[in-house]
Structure 1
Amino acid sequence: MQHQLEAFLRALRAADVRVSPAEAIDAARTVDVVGYADRQLFKDALCATLAKSQAEVAAFDRTFETFFARKAFDLPPPPPPEGGESESSPAGGEAPENPLAQALLRGDTTTLQQQMEEAARRTGVGEIRLSTQRSRMTRRLLDEMGLAEIEKIIAGARLKPETQGLAERLDAGRRALVAEAQKYVERQHELYAAGSGRQLREEMLARKALNAEGGIDPVDMAIMQQLVRKMAKRLADRYSRRRHQARIGHLDVRRTLRKSMGYGGVPFDIVWKSKKIDKPSIVAICDVSKSVAAAAQFLLTFLYSLNEVVDRLDAFAFSGRLIPVDDILDDHAVEQAILKVLQTIGFQQTDYGKSLEDFCDQHLDRLDRHTTVIFLGDGRSNFADPRLDLMNLIHQRSRAVIWLNPEPESYWGQGDSVMDRYARYCHVAKTCNTLAGLERVIEDVLRNYVPH
């Protein structure tokens, strides 16, 4: 049964239930205590050991019911015995010696289930990853069970008039067995491959351009919102605690001598000096004009999902004029908040200079030497004054200025773009028009980016 438990843990991981090696050991110990006899006790004990949130409990329940489903095979019933017939010599001819054929003729579903699960283990059906593999895996499973021999027996029985009945019964059993094998492989695909398909789609959407022509499909938008939250949670788990970064090559003499006291003054444990990395303070200034509204929505979703690891977050949005959006984002989901922001300041002629003026006049006190400023916009100011002096002021007062532009760098400075001029006052200015790019930038900020 250890193999079954390991396969079940793998199915849980495919269903986004995190199971660490230590938790897998705990699960094995739990099974040793409660056993397999009481299904409900077995399920509840494993759930208490492995599921760590309400979402994981729901995923655990679905996976458990699918993995441990043992529905009876839908086989044609054996005919009632007549005269001197026995189970080993049924009507329609003498029963073949093949064990699979005998199980089909008797309608022995228990034996057939055991044979199918054992054949699946030998052929690696649980390694299925793509829906296109289902037909091939089904055939491999049936061949391992001995279906080819059954087909030969059926073909031979049809050649003799006295064994026509046996051939028909075996053929009916063969068709039922093929249908059950297809259902079994489908369950394995649901257990092990559904997560792979979802992961593949998420990887594609993580690389999808946020400023793609024609916009983003609503179905993809919903998946991408979930993906952003998943990325944020991954980063939050990684950077939620205050960290210390060792300065290799800088010996901490005091702590080294203290540790050496346990070894008679011999410095076995060398301690290096370290610097404390605090949670960052972030000011996000987002262009919400039509060309970059989708990217702004995802950036704000990302940042607001990181409340555990960000010391302070102030968000501002602009099109023609700039307004703070913290209250709007606190009162509404990000999707509805963006619509409300657009209703307030959207559909105006973009003016970066006027927006910088609004920020510096009303909110410049939000900046200090611990603040990272993240701009998101294409830098197209419709030939208005870009107010480079205010951009320089923000640069001087901040720890770091990062500008994310959805447009390729070759477009910077073309037409009404002043991005090449703004880039002079940024510690980082880069093209960023995918979720994967956003994740990399935010991770750099959480690592406490130190400007050069």
Structure 2
Amino acid sequence: MEEKILEFARALRKADVRVTPSEEIDCFNSLKHISLEEKETFKTALQATLIKRAADIPVFYHLFDLHFSSGSPENDLPKKNAPLDQGSPNGEDLLDHATLAEAIDRALEEIDSNVMGLSVHVLGGNGGQLHRLIRAKGQEVGVQNMGYFLQINYYAQKIIESLDWKGIEADLNLLLKTLSEKGFDARNLGQAKKLLNYRMNLFKNAIQQYVKREFEKKDFKFKQKSAEETLLGKSLLQYTEKEVETMKGVITQLARRFRELETLRQQKARRHRFDVKGIFRKNLKYGGIPLDLSFKEKRKNKPHVVTLCDVSNSVRNASRFMLQFLYSLQDQFSKVRSFIFVDEVAEVTDLFKRYTLEEAITKAMTQMGILYDHLSDFGSAFSAFCDAYLNTVTSQTTVIIMGDARNNQYPPREDALKEIKIRAKRVIWLNPESSWSWNFGDSIMAYYEPFCDKVVECRNVKQLAEAIDKLIL
């Protein structure tokens, strides 16, 4: 078991889970106080000692099942006292299974093990020895070099071909001869042969399962990354709620990136501002010749962000994603005011501060007193914002609007957005629709674009990340 746990720890490390030697020691110490037969207790002990980050728990569960569940290597192999499966060729019950297995074991003991070699383990159902053999053969044929799943059958066949199956067949016949000499009649010998063939087939199947499992151990992190990369390019409008949840970590990284770049932009803006009056005062001793330069120390202003997010049904799941982004922004900035709208506006800043992410988004999407089932009316929403919240926008404010600009034939009221633009430092519009669809149908992006510093197609996470890099710097 100690070797198996060390192998499990190595698999965790390969999947980018940090496991230290001291944590391995803690694990072994904890196992001294529990029964290894109690699977859930055993699993909890491993998780408590080896896993420190919640993000690594799914990896732990997946690899635990590969190493220790009913699908683990030893359980694929023949057992000495295990009966044949349902549908296995057991024939008539001339001998009960235990009696038959015991007779085979006694016959194997009488045959010189040096003569039978591998066969004594295959025909005798010695799972532990066979597992070690399969692992050794797997390393010999290069299982560790598998690159894609189509190679599973190839490497399994290489292991099978490396074994002396003619020798095993010969030893099977020798074993049957020994049983015959012990008084087995033709029917009993037929029953024994079926059991021995069944064990041989289990062994071959165990080789296939071993190779498959090795690929899954190696490939688990790759599959996670591939799935995430697929989501990065998927339209936000097509996200399911589960996929929005999956991208939570990516959203947090984007919000952090936004903060870092906004701070960097402000630092760049403060560089090399000459203080003309200061230069004149400092250089009076040189007759006014500017030999000693002076720069203005501009007061540092913390980035201030105001966000408005469309939460109408037409962009519902995209809205859930964007609300996660807004929630994360509030963790990154000290001055963020967050608003949602359909045709009316509601502030969710306090909601994001008081509740967990899941609770906050659920409340934002259902309980803010706006009519969620109404059609989007950007003009009405901008006007309502100006009437109630325009004072939140100052010359230091970056305003971010998230919506598709589909106004459902309502008046655009671009004058309201113009009023916001006049007061703000910058207005950025992130549109979750492809730019080719702008200004078709009820999209009125052209009405609003003149009052934005930037209008950016933001259909997926990749585009959002690119937008952050381009817009902030």
TM-score (norm 1): 0.69
Following the alignment from structure 1 to structure 2, what is the Cα–Cα distance between the partners of residues 278 and 408?
35
- What secondary structure is seen at the aligned counterpart in 1 of 2:370? helix
- 1:337 matches 2:337: no
Displacement of 1:402 in angstroms is 1.5
Partner of residue 222, structure 1 = 241
Give the direction of change, closer, same or farther, for the CA distance of 1:308–1:128 in structure 2 (3 Å limit): farther
- What secondary structure is seen at the aligned counterpart in 1 of 2:109? coil
More displaced 10-residue stretch of structure 1: 379-388 or 107-116: 379-388
- 1:184 matches 2:184: no
Partner of residue 111, structure 2 = 89
Give the direction of change, closer, same or farther, for the CA distance of 1:206–1:67 in structure 2 (3 Å limit): same
- 1:109 matches 2:127: yes
Q: Deviations over 1:350-394 (max 9, x none)?
A: 332222121122111212343321111222334444333332332
Displacement of 1:403 in angstroms is 0.9
> Which amino acid letter does the alignment assign opposite residue 224 of structure 1?
E
Partner of residue 320, structure 1 = 343
Following the alignment from structure 1 to structure 2, what is the Cα–Cα distance between the partners of residues 137 and 435?
38
> Which amino acid letter does the alignment assign opposite residue 226 of structure 1?
E
Give the direction of change, closer, same or farther, for the CA distance of 1:126–1:339 in structure 2 (3 Å limit): farther
Give the direction of change, closer, same or farther, for the CA distance of 1:378–1:55 in structure 2 (3 Å limit): closer
- Residue among 378, 381, 387 paired with 1:361: 387
Alignment map for 1:244-263 (pairs within 5 Å): none
- What secondary structure is seen at the aligned counterpart in 2 of 1:305? helix
Partner of residue 253, structure 2 = 234
Following the alignment from structure 2 to structure 1, what is the Cα–Cα distance between the partners of residues 193 and 49?
51
Give the direction of change, closer, same or farther, for the CA distance of 1:155–1:336 in structure 2 (3 Å limit): farther
More displaced 10-residue stretch of structure 1: 386-395 or 276-285: 276-285
Following the alignment from structure 2 to structure 1, what is the Cα–Cα distance between the partners of residues 443 and 43?
61
Q: Deviations over 1:163-185 (max 9, x none)?
A: 99697665333112123334434
Following the alignment from structure 1 to structure 2, what is the Cα–Cα distance between the partners of residues 29 and 340?
48
> Which amino acid letter does the alignment assign opposite residue 435 of structure 1?
V
> In 2, are the aligned partners of 1:150 and 1:174 still within 8 Å (CA)?
no
Listed as ranges, the gaps of 5+ residues in structure 2 are: 34-41, 82-100, 181-188, 273-297
Displacement of 1:423 in angstroms is 1.9
Partner of residue 53, structure 2 = 53
- What secondary structure is seen at the aligned counterpart in 2 of 1:80? helix
- What secondary structure is seen at the aligned counterpart in 2 of 1:323? strand
- What secondary structure is seen at the aligned counterpart in 2 of 1:299? helix
TM-score (norm 2): 0.66
Give the direction of change, closer, same or farther, for the CA distance of 1:198–1:56 in structure 2 (3 Å limit): closer
Give the direction of change, closer, same or farther, for the CA distance of 1:2–1:103 in structure 2 (3 Å limit): closer
Partner of residue 410, structure 1 = 436
Following the alignment from structure 2 to structure 1, what is the Cα–Cα distance between the partners of residues 27 and 319?
52
From the CA coordinates, give the structure whose radius of gyration is larger: 2
> In 2, are the aligned partners of 1:154 and 1:167 still within 8 Å (CA)?
no
Partner of residue 9, structure 2 = 8
Q: Percent identity?
A: 25
Q: Deviations over 1:414-450 (max 9, x none)?
A: 34432123222222212112233334445667xxx14
- 1:437 matches 2:451: no
Partner of residue 201, structure 1 = 227
- 1:74 matches 2:78: yes
Following the alignment from structure 2 to structure 1, what is the Cα–Cα distance between the partners of residues 383 and 160?
73
Give the direction of change, closer, same or farther, for the CA distance of 1:233–1:427 in structure 2 (3 Å limit): same
- How many corresponding residue pairs? 398
Give the direction of change, closer, same or farther, for the CA distance of 1:344–1:171 in structure 2 (3 Å limit): same
Displacement of 1:162 in angstroms is 5.3
Following the alignment from structure 1 to structure 2, what is the Cα–Cα distance between the partners of residues 391 and 301?
24
Q: Deviations over 1:167-209 (max 9, x none)?
A: 7665333112123334434544554434443433333233222
Displacement of 1:284 in angstroms is 1.6
Give the direction of change, closer, same or farther, for the CA distance of 1:135–1:305 in structure 2 (3 Å limit): farther
Following the alignment from structure 2 to structure 1, what is the Cα–Cα distance between the partners of residues 351 and 177?
83
Listed as ranges, the gaps of 5+ residues in structure 1 are: 252-274
Displacement of 1:114 in angstroms is 1.2
Partner of residue 100, structure 1 = 118
- What secondary structure is seen at the aligned counterpart in 2 of 1:292? helix
Following the alignment from structure 2 to structure 1, what is the Cα–Cα distance between the partners of residues 459 and 147?
30
- Residue among 150, 154, 178 paired with 2:165: 150
- What secondary structure is seen at the aligned counterpart in 1 of 2:250? helix
Give the direction of change, closer, same or farther, for the CA distance of 1:348–1:433 in structure 2 (3 Å limit): same
Following the alignment from structure 2 to structure 1, what is the Cα–Cα distance between the partners of residues 134 and 230?
36
Alignment map for 1:154-173 (pairs within 5 Å): 154=169, 171-173=197-199
> In 1, are the aligned partners of 2:310 and 2:342 still within 8 Å (CA)?
yes
- What secondary structure is seen at the aligned counterpart in 2 of 1:75? coil
Give the direction of change, closer, same or farther, for the CA distance of 1:43–1:311 in structure 2 (3 Å limit): same
> Which amino acid letter does the alignment assign opposite residue 154 of structure 1?
E
> Which amino acid letter does the alignment assign opposite residue 202 of structure 1?
E
> In 2, are the aligned partners of 1:372 and 1:400 still within 8 Å (CA)?
yes
